[in-house]
Chain A
Amino acid sequence: MKRQTIGQTPFIIREEMPAQVNLQNRWGSLLVIIMTVAGLLAAFLLRDTILSASIFFENLEAGLALRYPASWIVETEGDFVLRVTDPESLPFKTTITASVRIIGLETSAVSVVNRITLERSPSLPGYDVLESREIQTPYGIAESVSFTYIAIENNPLLQSIPVPMRGQDIIFIKERQAIILTYTAARENFDPDYFYFENMLRSLVF
Chain B
Amino acid sequence: MRPRSQSNAAPQSNEQPRTTVWRFSALILVAFLLVSVAAFVLGGRLEAILPQWIMIILRYALALSPGLIWYLPEKRLQDRAAARGLERHRAITGITFLSGVLALGAGSLLLDEVLRPEDWLPSAGGLERIQGYTLTTGIVEGFLKYAVMRYTAWPDQFRRREDGIYYGIAAGIGYAVALNIRYVLRLEPALSAASMRIAATTLSQVAFGAMLGFFLAEAARGQRRFYWLPGGFGLTAFITGIYIAFRAGVVVSGLGTSPIMGLAVSTGLAIVTFLVLAFFINVLDVREQGRLGIQGERL
Interface residue ranges, A against B (CB under 8 Å): 1, 3, 6-15, 17-25, 27-29, 31-32, 35-36, 39-40, 42-44, 46-47, 50-51, 71, 88
CA distance A25 to B159 in the complex (A): 15
Give chain A residues whose Cβ lies under 8 Å from the Cβ of B160.
Answer: 14
B9 at the interface (CB under 8 A from A): yes
B80 at the interface (CB under 8 A from A): no
Give chain B residues whose Cβ lies under 8 Å from the Cβ of A10.
Answer: 3, 292-296
Give chain B residues whose Cβ lies under 8 Å from the Cβ of A40.
Answer: 110, 115, 135-136, 139-140
Flag if A28 contacts B227 (CB, 8 Å). yes
* Known A14-B13, A20-B221, A50-B121; contact A28-B139, beta-carbon cutoff 8 A: no
Flag if B293 contacts A28 (CB, 8 Å). no
B143 at the interface (CB under 8 A from A): yes
Flag if B1 contacts A11 (CB, 8 Å). yes
Flag if B115 contacts A7 (CB, 8 Å). no
Give chain A residues whose Cβ lies under 8 Å from the Cβ of B220.
Answer: 19-20, 25
Q: Return the contact of A20 from the options B128, B135, B222 (Cβ within 8 A).
A: B222
Q: Give, as a whole number of angstroms, the nearest-CB distance from A5 to chain B.
A: 10
Give chain A residues whose Cβ lies under 8 Å from the Cβ of B124.
Answer: 50
Flag if B229 contacts A29 (CB, 8 Å). yes
B131 at the interface (CB under 8 A from A): yes
Q: Which of B1-30 contact A (CB under 8 A)?
A: 1-5, 7, 9-11, 13-15
Q: Return the contact of A46 from the options B135, B150, B155 (Cβ within 8 A).
A: B135
CA distance A86 to B126 in the complex (A): 20
Flag if B155 contacts A19 (CB, 8 Å). yes
Give chain B residues whose Cβ lies under 8 Å from the Cβ of A32.
Answer: 143, 146, 150, 229-230, 233
Q: A28-B225, A46-B135 are in contact. List 4 more A-B contacts (CB 8 A).
A: A21-B155, A31-B230, A35-B139, A40-B136
Binary CB contact string for chain B from 210 to 221 against chain A (1 if under 8 A, 0 otherwise): 000000000111
B53 at the interface (CB under 8 A from A): no
B interface residues, how many (CB within 8 angstroms)? 53
Q: Return the contact of B128 from the options A6, A29, A46 (Cβ within 8 A).
A: A46
Flag if A43 contacts B233 (CB, 8 Å). no
Flag if A28 contacts B146 (CB, 8 Å). no
Q: Give, as a whole number of angstroms, the nearest-CB distance from A9 to chain B.
A: 4
CA distance A71 to B227 in the complex (A): 39
Flag if B294 contacts A11 (CB, 8 Å). yes
6 residue pairs of the A-B complex, CB under 8 angstroms, read A1-B292, A7-B7, A9-B7, A11-B294, A24-B228, A35-B234
CB-nearest residue of chain B to A12 = B1
Q: Give, as a whole number of angstroms, the nearest-CB distance from A53 to chain B.
A: 9
Q: Which of B152-199 contact A (CB under 8 A)?
A: 155-156, 159-160
Give chain A residues whose Cβ lies under 8 Å from the Cβ of B294.
Answer: 3, 10-12
CA distance A11 to B110 in the complex (A): 49
CA distance A20 to B256 in the complex (A): 51
CA distance A97 to B158 in the complex (A): 61
CA distance A13 to B1 in the complex (A): 7
Give chain B residues whose Cβ lies under 8 Å from the Cβ of A24.
Answer: 222, 224-226, 228
B259 at the interface (CB under 8 A from A): no
Give chain B residues whose Cβ lies under 8 Å from the Cβ of A12.
Answer: 1, 292, 294, 296
Residue from A1, A7, A10, A15 with most neighbouring chain B CB atoms (10 Å):
A10
Q: Give, as a whole number of angstroms, the nearest-CB distance from A199 to chain B.
A: 14
Give chain A residues whose Cβ lies under 8 Å from the Cβ of B135.
Answer: 39-40, 42-43, 46
B253 at the interface (CB under 8 A from A): no
Q: Give, as a whole number of angstroms, the nearest-CB distance from B251 to chain A.
A: 18
CB-nearest residue of chain A to B1 = A12
